[in-house]
A = this chain, B = another copy of it.
Amino acid sequence: MTKLNGEFELIKHITAGPIRKEVICGIGDDAAVIKYGNKFLLLTTDTIVENDHFSFSYFTPEQVGIKAIESNFSDIAAMGGKPLYVLVSLVLKSDSTMHMVDGIYKGMRKRCKQYNVDIIGGDTTHGDVNVITITLIGEIDKKYLCMRKDAKPGDLIFVTGLLGASTAGLHLFRREIKGFEKIKAYHTTPKSRLDVSWEIAGYANAMEDISDGLASELRNISEQSKCGAIVYADKVPIDRQTYMAAQACGENALDFALYGGEDFELVYTVSKERSKKAYGYCVGEIIKGRSVHLKKGNRLTKLTKFGYDHFKKNNSK
């Protein structure tokens, strides 16, 4: 569930708080959390728009379906939860083909099947642009719930895998650069980290998925946990191929990792005591204060740029 962007956060009718007492968390985390029976329900929705989030120039319909599902799986993974049910809303242009729609569903069903998730309904309608909105319902036991607000000064920051590759892939496609198939695949066929999220939820304090770049996610965690963060630039895990791809594009691989997006890895914080068995790569630490800093060698820089803004003009995706 992407955070409402920039100025929209200010609008009173959007940000009104929950009115029902069983709503543990509404707008502001990867998924909403509702106490229901003896479990917590998790609810999230993500929309992808043709030419903003994908392009049929380099995505197959099946890959579009995969991306739509995995971006939602990633939100449930970020809470430590288990995905259960999917609703699919398709807005289709008049020239849409059966091949396209069938392919999108094929991709969605393939990934749903891996986690025994059911597509239980949806809506299909006409519009001037192709849009896919997925709503995913999941559940979690209260004790495993991981929220953005639970980081503590002294926690170490871990990420579950390589960063920046999806954005590198996007740049390669946009510039029509041949080769780098492995990097391009990070962009067209992402995979959420449901494979490790349940284990991590057992020891993490705060957790979030990396959909808008590491810097942006750490800002969210810092703001909601009322603390600061330091990222060690030389510890951010970036594949050698991502460096090469960034170079071929005349771009910086670390920027892709910090400010790109759609890696769908997880970033989480864990106390030093419990960090020995922690999964992934340690990339920083939670500190007192409210700012996110980047540490390069001995130099500490306060970050002021944060990820991708969907409403900024001339953005890179």
Contact = CB atoms under 8 A, between A and B. Distances in A.
Interface of A: 1-2, 4-5, 7-8, 10-14, 16, 18-20, 23, 26-27, 31-32, 34, 36-39, 41, 43-49, 51-53, 84-85, 87-89, 91-92, 94, 98, 101-102, 105-106, 108-109, 113, 116, 118-129, 131, 133, 135, 137, 310-311, 313
How many copies of this chain sit in the oligomeric assembly? 2
A240 B27 CA distance: 45
A44 to B, nearest CB: 7
Contact of A121 (B13, B32, B84, B98): B32
A87 B43 contact: yes
A72 B311 CA distance: 28
Given A4-B122, A13-B102, A19 B128 contact: no
A126 B18 contact: no
Given A52-B125, A84-B20, A313-B94, A47 B116 contact: no
A127 B52 contact: yes
Residue of A53, A92, A108, A128 with highest tally of chain B CB at under 10 A = A128
Closest 9 CB pairs of A and B: A37-B37, A13-B105, A32-B120, A49-B127, A135-B135, A32-B121, A133-B133, A26-B120, A45-B87
B102 A11 contact: yes
Nearest to A130: B127
Contacts of A19: 113, 116, 118
Contact of A45 (B46, B133, B310): B133
A89 B52 contact: no
A43 B121 contact: yes
